[in-house]
A and B are shown apart, each in its own frame.
Chain A
Amino acid sequence: MNLKNLTNAARGVFLWVDDRLHLTKLYESTAGHHVPQSSGSWFYVFGSATLLCFMIQLATGIMLAMVYVPSAAEAYTTLEYLTFQQHLGWFLRGVHYWGSNFMVGIMLLHMTQVFLFGAYKYPREITWISGIVLMVLTLGLAFTGQVMRFDEDAYWGLGIGVAIMGRVPFLGEHLVNMMLGGPIIASETLSRFFALHVFVLPGGILALVSIHLRMVLTKGINEYPQPGMLVRRETYDKEYAAILKKEGVPFFPKAISKDLVAASIVIFGIVACACFFGPKGPLGPPNPIQIDTLPRPDFFFLWIFAIAALMPDWMETAVLLGGPAVIGLVLFALPFFNGTGEKSWRRRPVAVMTVILTYVSLGLLTYLGHTSPWSPDMNAWKTAHTPKQFLVGRAPLELQGSVVIQSMQCRNCHAIDGIGGQRGPDLADVGARLTKDQLVRQVIQGGGNMPAYGKNLSPDQVDAVVAYMVSLRSAGVPAARDSSQPGLPPME
């Protein structure tokens, strides 16, 4: 009796609250909106996981901003304080850093899934386009975040930004000033990147996410595509309504379970990375005079770093400036030139090939950017030793040559048997590849990405270097020779 009264009272209170706040209606039009049962799939968890990463970034970012000082003079000190002294500061920095990696990575997976499942097609064009803008904003957050970690990489990373902006015809100088807040990297630069990183870009993401999610509510989540089910502008809306009628379930609580599991996996992942690997840096202080540095971008931009090294020189400006514009245009236009027809990836070989090609290219370029074999090893001439088998039994002139090779920084670019810089060819078998004449010419005139050493080596030094290089070949392999040389042994 008493319990029944209590239940009735509670029910009354709930109904009153619901009547005033319209909670049931809110639920029905948002979390409880109907989705096709088929969309409750493991493939559909990446969108919510990206949003989760963003929430983690917001929370940790606000915490970090309570301690961080965005001043060129103080930022580095406060970063060190955050990392080594502030209670749990290392953890928050770690979660924020790994959260950004996860966010970029999961966002890419989300985009790939949407592309392969044809979800960008009619009538979800704006969902796709708002997603593209979200991707640009997210990459913007990643780049500006790298500047927030105001260390040597941040400083020279800005220098790279200047060099790219400076290539814009006519407006270059103005754009550089706009980016830096002046003609040189200084306090204004950090302050404006801070404003972008904590106000402008997150604000933009919040606005775009609300559009993105609203589109999911109004135009519905993509049904799990079946091969042969073609999208037609005339019939699709009716077909989708029929699917919802037949197998529609409320997103919460019927279709959310896999999103929840994925969310916990993402959080476990971020926290585990933060704990095991910790935050990145800060590396050396942002001191421009400290030029003994090896500037590298963060993980997500290594592929651009690699492209900048591997492209032919003549196309560099066109690719650096035009590349993003072309990619952006294609992505924006995609739902308009490919807005109908087959959705299932099983019948879209071009889409599958595009994804494979993109991932293989990005993966290879990232790997190359990580190893960066094109960078000279600036200290190799002092630290890379010459393996014993390349010294034993050599004549004095040849040994003299090996010393010249070492002291003239040749080893910064040339390895011997894998030891030393990787920019030029390994010299371990150079004697079998190039004749004496070719070696003399190469050393004196350079070419093929090698400076000419004619002015910097005396004739005696050239003789010694070439004599040594002729001797560099595997046992039993003869020195390279050309047909013009007299005294060729008879053909066997």
Chain B
Amino acid sequence: MNEDPQTTCACQDAPKKTSRRDFLLAAGFGLNAIAGAMIGLPLIGYLLTPFFKKNKLARIPLGPVENFPEGKTRFASYKNPMHREWDGQTADIPCWVRRIKGNEFQVFAINCTHLGCPVRWFEESKLFMCPCHGGAFYEDGSHAAGPPPRGLYTYEVKVENGELFIMGGVIPNLSNQTA
């Protein structure tokens, strides 16, 4: 008596109903694909920003040349040119400055070319030694001993108005050898 009219309806108009359902299903998938892209693409873009960002070097002052005696290698440090307020101590980047004579400088990155540990300068034996795997480098940064695949990374150096500048802002590695 109280038969569900919809059941009978569905039986009779089966092909029509199905196509409407199909349409809704397709629309549901399609709309959600667009909606998903609207959220997903910016998300991927956000995530990949550092991947595609071109590294730019900045001109960094290391102080007046008088701070670096001729024929000596001295420890120096600078603020990461891209540093943020919440970087804390990590904003300070160390390097080794070798003043050969006059305005002739070599500035070496602190990172060993083997696996990036900080190399230390020994004035007496005129060697840089690495505490991790025993890499050693000569005074001019060239490879002396141990596993490093090349000499120390060097910064591009400029002297202007008696002040020493380097081009820096990247942690040097074998893919990016400009310190």
Residues of B within 8 A of A295 (CB): 117-118, 131-132
Whether the Cβ atoms of B124 and A309 lie closer than 8 Å is no
Residues of B within 8 A of A210 (CB): none
Please report A residues at the B interface, Cβ cutoff 8 Å. Answer: 71-74, 76, 155-156, 159-160, 162-168, 171-178, 180-188, 285-289, 291-295, 305, 308-309, 311, 313, 316-317, 374-376, 378, 381, 407-410, 412-413, 423, 446, 449-453, 455-456
Distance to closest chain A CB from B175 (angstroms): 3
A-B CB pair tally, cutoff 8 Å: 207
- Of the residues B53, B93, B125, B130, contact of A177 by C-beta under 8 Å: B53
Whether the Cβ atoms of B138 and A289 lie closer than 8 Å is no
In this assembly, does B126 line the interface, its C-beta being within 8 Å of a C-beta of chain A? yes
How far is A479 from B54 in the complex, measured between Cα atoms in Å? 62
Query: How many residues belonging to B are interface residues under a CB distance threshold of 8 Å?
Result: 58
Distance to closest chain B CB from A203 (angstroms): 15
- Of the residues B50, B55, B116, B169, contact of A156 by C-beta under 8 Å: B116
Whether the Cβ atoms of A177 and B132 lie closer than 8 Å is no
In this assembly, does B80 line the interface, its C-beta being within 8 Å of a C-beta of chain A? yes
Residues of B within 8 A of A408 (CB): 124-125
25 CB-based A-B contacts, threshold 8 Å = A156-B117, A163-B111, A167-B174, A172-B174, A173-B175, A180-B50, A183-B169, A188-B50, A288-B94, A289-B92, A295-B132, A311-B147, A317-B174, A375-B132, A376-B129, A376-B130, A378-B131, A381-B124, A407-B124, A408-B125, A409-B125, A450-B145, A453-B125, A456-B125, A456-B127
Please report B residues at the A interface, Cβ cutoff 8 Å. Answer: 48, 50-53, 55, 75, 77, 80, 82-94, 110-120, 122, 124-127, 129-134, 136, 138, 144-147, 149, 169-171, 173-176
How far is A287 from B115 in the complex, measured between Cα atoms in Å? 18
How far is A171 from B126 in the complex, measured between Cα atoms in Å? 36
How far is A376 from B84 in the complex, measured between Cα atoms in Å? 35
Whether the Cβ atoms of A288 and B120 lie closer than 8 Å is no
Distance to closest chain A CB from B76 (angstroms): 10
How far is A452 from B136 in the complex, measured between Cα atoms in Å? 11
Most central of B91, B138, B171 by chain A CB within 10 Å = B171
Can you name the residue of chain B whose Cβ is closest to the Cβ of A294?
Answer: B131
Residues of A within 8 A of B136 (CB): 376, 451
Whether the Cβ atoms of A186 and B120 lie closer than 8 Å is no
Residues of B within 8 A of A188 (CB): 50, 84
Distance to closest chain B CB from A113 (angstroms): 34
Whether the Cβ atoms of A160 and B116 lie closer than 8 Å is yes
- Of the residues B89, B113, B129, contact of A288 by C-beta under 8 Å: B89
